[in-house]
Copies of this chain bind each other. A is one copy, B any other.
Amino acid sequence: MESKKIKKIFVEGAISPEFVGDSIAKHSTKKSIGAHSIFLGQVRNDRINEREVIAINYSAYTEMAEEKMHEIREATFNKYELTCMHIYHSIGTVNVGEISLFVFTSSKHRKAAIEGCNELVERIKKEVPIWGKEIFEDESFQWKTNANKSIEL
């Protein structure tokens, strides 16, 4: 159980695919694990009023986000039988096609990893004080809103 210490979740810039691969590799020594579930958020080239998004700049209320994330981690460890849980979110600029969110759960049987991962993603998006500013090709920007998030789900 890694649930007791407050873990850093923020990384500067994009999360690299190699980092994800390395994180997976570290679990080969944990031989009671039968299932891993991974969610990755990737920055999309949305078109908004004829302008194309080329990057998102993320900012956060870091101290509150880390406390909130700790609370979410604890609750998820208590609710699901998870062996491991790893969460990373970008701060700063992440270009289109790059990864900004990495949620990774592991468990003996698949149900816990899958459901735990899904719940973490939902709670992170809803409850953690992070903001994304969509940057357009002409250098104009707009703050992302949660408005179409509810439509997504």
Complex Cα spacing A36 to B35, Å: 17
Taken together as a complex, chains A and B put the C-alpha atoms of A98 and B114 apart, in Å, by: 19
What are the nearest 10 A-B pairs in CB distance?
Answer: A21-B21, A17-B25, A38-B38, A17-B24, A36-B40, A28-B97, A31-B45, A109-B152, A34-B44, A17-B21
* Majority SS at the chain A contact face: mixed
Residue of B nearest to A109 (CB): B152
Q: Give the complex CA separation of A114 and B66 in angstroms.
A: 25
Q: How many copies does the complex hold?
A: 2
Given A36-B39, A38-B37, A38-B38, are A153 and B111 neighbors across the interface (CB < 8 Å)?
yes
Q: Report the count of interface residues on A (CB-CB < 8 A).
A: 40
